[in-house]
Amino acid sequence: MVRSRSYIATPPGATIKEQLTDRGMSQKEFAARMNMSEKHISKLINGEVQLTPDCAVRLEVVLGVYAKFWNNLEAAYREKLIKVEAENLMEQDEEIARKFPYSEMAKYGWVPATRNIKEKVINLRKYFGIVELSLLENRQITRIACRRLAITEKSDLALMAWAQRVKVIAREIETKPINVKGFNNRLDEIRKLTLMEPKQFSPKLKFLLSEYGIALVFLPHLKGSFLHGATFLDGNKIVLGLTARGSDADKFWFSLFHELGHIMLGHIGNSDGTSEQDEIAANEWARDQLIPTDAFIKFKENHVFSIDAVRVFAGMIHIAPGIVVGRLQNEGEIKHNMLNELKEHYVIIG
């Protein structure tokens, strides 16, 4: 017997057991009369195996109850079983759906707007292309390399929702075959894009990445996801999603290079996702690619961090001054309220 809130699915075996009790017949004798194994009869009574038409005919002969009755009983049981499982699954998925930032997703047009929790579940299943939301725990479905500030259950679900939208958009982006080794030669060119405005560098950056099998997608930030970016394999391309969270240029470029770090260091595509060690390695790679360590150490030797000094140094290494300021602040060389006038703020759309 299997239950849900609204349904009870009772296997035909329960009726067979009643018949045996009324006759005072043991399962062992019944199995012999049915010419079936005791193990099979036990499973039949417990609803662990299906009551077949052949079995129904045997039951008619042994118990004197028409085969049609047993066939109908089995069909009713299977129908109720589906309803029980569906209702229980829906209840589990409702709990998961309540943790998604559904209203925000609907605001962006990612899912249909609704307040009905069952409709939310159905819409989210379609959105992710899965038959039940609990499958999102399967790392084979959600293999994502990402940079976040914190991890909670709700933030994980927000991340998955964001990454799924990135994946859908990326499928419409044409890319050449993946060529990570060749892409390594274009990193200096990407660094120089930091000197441009978003409307100038955005199309250049997208095209450059697409030449090496990387589809770049910009998407609004979802509240609660603590997300800066995410990278993953989808079919024959690498998908790199970014959000201009915080809108500071230095954060944007560090997030981009962090995700590129996952690509260059071979972190994407792992069945278990990225480890804490992978995230640290991607951070260090991004830091050193944006501002070469040797040059930065030499710059710090004089302990002069004026506006002019930062601009001169940034010009020497061909990078935006705000990125230098961000690193100085993060490493404690200057306070976080200093030199912020050198930082740019981005508004990046699509």
20 falls within a domain: yes
| The pLDDT of residue 62 | 96
Q: In terms of domains, do 175 and 309 share one?
A: yes
Taking the C-alpha atoms of residue 190 and residue 181, their distance in angstroms, rounded to an integer, is 15
6 falls within a domain: yes
221 falls within a domain: yes
Q: In terms of domains, do 16 and 51 share one?
A: yes
Q: Are 321 and 342 in contact (CB under 8 A)?
A: yes
| The pLDDT of residue 345 | 85
347 falls within a domain: no
Taking the C-alpha atoms of residue 171 and residue 92, their distance in angstroms, rounded to an integer, is 31
> How are beta strands 2-3 and 8-9 bridged, if at all?
antiparallel
Q: In terms of domains, do 192 and 304 share one?
A: yes
Of the residues 138, 162, 195, which one is the last residue of a structural domain? 138
Q: Tell me how long the chain is.
A: 350
Q: Are 343 and 326 in contact (CB under 8 A)?
A: yes
Taking the C-alpha atoms of residue 341 and residue 322, their distance in angstroms, rounded to an integer, is 8
| The pLDDT of residue 32 | 97
Query: For the chain, how many structural domains are there in total?
Result: 3
349 falls within a domain: no
Q: In terms of domains, do 163 and 311 share one?
A: yes
120 falls within a domain: yes
Phi, psi (5° rounding) for residue 26? -80, 160
Q: In terms of domains, do 76 and 197 share one?
A: no
DSSP class per residue in 312-329: HHHHHTTS-HHHHHHHHH
Q: Which neighbouring-strand residues pair with 147?
A: 229
Taking the C-alpha atoms of residue 159 and residue 226, their distance in angstroms, rounded to an integer, is 8
Q: What is the pLDDT of residues 194-227, one digit of tens each?
A: 999 988 999 999 999 999 999 999 988 888 777 7
Spatial CA neighbour of 234 closest among 192, 269, 259, 282: 269
Q: In terms of domains, do 86 and 102 share one?
A: no
pTM of the model: 0.75
Of the residues 138, 168, 191, which one is the last residue of a structural domain? 138
SS3 231: strand
pLDDT, mean of each 10-residue run, the chain (350 residues): 83 95 95 96 94 96 96 95 89 92 94 96 94 82 60 77 92 96 93 92 95 94 78 91 77 93 88 81 96 94 94 95 95 94 80
Q: In terms of domains, do 133 and 163 share one?
A: no
CATH number at residue 45: 1.10.260.40
Phi, psi (5° rounding) for residue 187? -65, -40
Q: In terms of domains, do 109 and 246 share one?
A: no
Spatial CA neighbour of 9 closest among 75, 77, 71, 74: 77
Amino acid occupying residue 230: A
207 falls within a domain: yes
Q: In terms of domains, do 197 and 50 share one?
A: no
Q: In terms of domains, do 190 and 287 share one?
A: yes
| The pLDDT of residue 137 | 80
Q: Are 248 and 322 in contact (CB under 8 A)?
A: yes
Q: In terms of domains, do 260 and 280 share one?
A: yes
| The pLDDT of residue 149 | 46
350 falls within a domain: no
Of the residues 138, 158, 193, which one is the last residue of a structural domain? 138
Q: In terms of domains, do 190 and 333 share one?
A: yes
The count of C-alpha atoms lying within 13 angstroms of the C-alpha of 272, restricted to the half-sphere facing its C-beta, is 4
Mean of per-residue pLDDT scores for the chain: 90
Residue 81 is part of which domain span? 2-93
Render the burial of 193-227: b for 16+ CB within 10 Å, e for the rest. Answer: bbeeebeebbeebbebbbebbbbbbbbbbbebbbb
